Every structure is written in structure tokens, then in C-alpha cells.
């Protein structure tokens, strides 16, 4: 970690089940340090799903830790390759990280050896 630490963000992407690995692969080329895929299940009723143009309540939630400078490129890649700008394809948002709990946590997120 000799380089100056840049501002980090957490990108959360929600896609249909089994598309999380594709998100992960796309973001690997965008300066992502650490990614985690969580299996999610919504609670919306079928009527609401149809209204929103969604097909299933089973989702993959991909949490990606990325440098702030790489966020625009990552979102552009996701939109281009997964068509997240189209209804029912998924959603991605970026959250600020104000602090990271410990040096060991930071090393894990940066892919450094502990």
C-alpha cells in the first residue's frame, strides 16, 4: 500500500439470480478491489412484479468496493453489457464509504496480504 489511498465507494448492483457472476466479471476490469455476491429474495407480489416489469423475486446482490475514479467507467460497462438502463434488467447504485473499521479490514478490501 505504498500509493496514496484514493477515496473508495461501495457499488451495490442487484440483478436476476445467477447474473451476479457476470457483474463480477465485468467489474474486475474496472479497478474493483473486493466483491461479494449475496443471494437475495424480494417480497413483492406477482401483481407488483408485473407492474415494475420484473420477472422474479430471486436476485443476486453484488457488493463491490471500488476507487471513486473508476465509478463512472464501471457504471458505463454495466449499462452497456447488462443493459441496466432497460426496465427489469437490474439496478446499480454507489454509496460513500466514510471509514473502514480497521487496518486488517482495509487490507482485505484492497486485496493485500494480512
Domains, the chain, ordered by start:
8-110 (3.30.70.120)
Question: Residue 42's pLDDT is what?
Answer: 77
Residue 112: per-residue pLDDT: 60
* CA distances, 51 to each of 1, 32, 47, 58 (Å): 48, 34, 6, 17
User: What's the CA gap between 30 and 68, in Å, rounded?
Assistant: 11
| Residue 2: predicted pLDDT | 43
- CB count in 10 Å sphere of residue 53: 10
Helices then strands, each counted (H, E), the chain: 4, 4
Q: How many CB atoms lie within 10 A of CB 59?
A: 22
Q: Which three cell numbers stand for residue 9?
A: 465507494
pLDDT of amino acid 5: 60
Q: With a cut of 50, which residues of the chain have pLDDT below it? A: 1-2, 113-114
Give the model's pLDDT for residue 111.
67
What's the pLDDT score for residue 45?
Answer: 81
Residue 12's pLDDT is what?
A: 96
Q: What is the pLDDT of residue 79?
A: 93
Amino acid at each position: 500500500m505504498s500509493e496514496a489511498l484514493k477515496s473508495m465507494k461501495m457499488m451495490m448492483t442487484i440483478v436476476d439470480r445467477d447474473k451476479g457472476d457476470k457483474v463480477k466479471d465485468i467489474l474486475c476490469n474496472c479497478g474493483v478491489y473486493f466483491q461479494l455476491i449475496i443471494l437475495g429474495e424480494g417480497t413483492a407480489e406477482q401483481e407488483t412484479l408485473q407492474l415494475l416489469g420484473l420477472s422474479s423475486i430471486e436476485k443476486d446482490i453484488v457488493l463491490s468496493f471500488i476507487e471513486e475514479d473508476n465509478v463512472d467507467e464501471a457504471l458505463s460497462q454495466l449499462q452497456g453489457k447488462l443493459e441496466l438502463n432497460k426496465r427489469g434488467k437490474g439496478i446499480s447504485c454507489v454509496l460513500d464509504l466514510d471509514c473502514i473499521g480497521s487496518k486488517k479490514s482495509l487490507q482485505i478490501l484492497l486485496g493485500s496480504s494480512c
